[in-house]
Structure 1
Amino acid sequence: MWNKIPAFLKNKYLLVILMFIVWLTFFDRNNFISQVRYGRILNKQRQQMEFYKSEILKDSTALNELMTDSLSLEKFAREKYLMKKNNEDVYLIVKDKDNKEN
């Protein structure tokens, strides 16, 4: 019976190493599959962090420009909040999303 088993399967060190690899791959709390998944999540979080840093930089420069330049503040108020001077009229043109011809 023992003669039919290949010699490399009789090696107790190899069997322990194989069992250890199987344990780390599937059963351990910090297994290899979870580590790969956590690495992907970490990369996605880093990309989001870089995106938000660039957005913060862009918004802070725009805010600085609004605080220092009165012409840009007036332009922003007119475009964003539709503010106007006392002697002028503002016309708002809204385009239909459903512009189907029947």
Structure 2
Amino acid sequence: VSLMGYEHQAETITYTESQLDSMGIIWTLKFEEDGTAEQTTNMSAPLVTFPGTWSTSGNKLTLELTATTGEVGTMTYEYAIDGNILKLNWDMPTGAKLYAELTKQ
């Protein structure tokens, strides 16, 4: 992940790639042509990879990922591709808006 941010009420926080690296944040997404996907992250737990599927419709990207417990979770993002950068925006139930940029490896 090369950029991540958060907006909620009057608070806006943005983290650059070097700041995320210094915090040890890992978030990678892998998309295959057959519709399978993998997310590897340590944002809410020790480093773990979640397998699943991906699909798009218009400017929406949907990931259905399977947790280590077997539970399937679905996340839908607004997305755009700018060169080799995937830009994601999503809303949290609290009303917070999050955004991230991931650079193609």
Q: Same fold judged by TM-score > 0.5?
A: no
**TM bucket, shorter chain:** under 0.3
Larger RCO: 1 or 2 (CA < 8 Å, sep 6+): 2
**Bigger Rg over Cα:** 1
Q: Which has the higher helix share?
A: 1
TM-score norm. by structure 2 comes to 0.18
TM-score norm. by structure 1 comes to 0.18
